[in-house]
Structure 1
């Protein structure tokens, strides 16, 4: 007789749709940042080589200025704040590019899209929080785990639910979500261990932005 498939209740399914959509938006935002870096490289601007976060306050001010037509490296570098202030000479060299009209247009459009995605991500998370009300106790417990923040806890609940009786054991749960590295131990001296069928492990639970450890099956 076939075992029943894991079909979570409606509230969990609704939460899952929201968290997965948020994940898609986060990935799209990351793609836009990568696209922005490509545009800067095309203009021979090496901002990322000096500023760790090109969309931090300093980087964003410089990018906005570039989009608005400012090309003077000294003026752009002077927009640096905080820890970037001592790096102004490096910034000046990094901002000596060849910015053309199409570069400015692309920078402006990409920044606008990133702003839109930031707003969309925030709105989706507000809806996620609304749907989390029935699972407040589970979320609180999950957040006691090191490295699990609010959104990670929400995704865990969305992906596996709160009824652990659906899984025969912790190992079955880990295998179901794809974070298990099953190792077959043969009781033969000198025999090498090998991964079980389908037991290749993934450094990260699907739809979660946090790394997970390996669960060994003995």
Structure 2
């Protein structure tokens, strides 16, 4: 059985977080300093992101949206993750850039940035919990999902239906 010292154990987590696009060595150290390495204290990834304050509120009264501010949470962790999200969207070949572009078109720059930061936080939770390296889905992740829709249209046409896309 391999026994690691605490400093060596933390260095493994820092190296794993450093593999995420947008997160550098100092940012990984800040994230571990604020969140810790034991993810068992959080019930789920959603609980972790709520603790960090990167979950948008959803106040809706009688079908009318009132507020979509992000919650209060650990301000140091939140600032670090948002800073990392800004760096991550510069890499045009990553999944995070594709997610940013997709949300930016519908909801705006700031909400897209918070959504990317939330996605990064969920990835950080799973990386620290399972000690598995980050696997980027790629910038064509959403376009590959749309190919399934096109395949469904072709199958409808094969059945004799006429499909018109507008």
After TM superposition, the score normalised by the length of structure 2 is 0.38
Greater Cα radius of gyration, structure 1 or 2: 1
After TM superposition, the score normalised by the length of structure 1 is 0.30
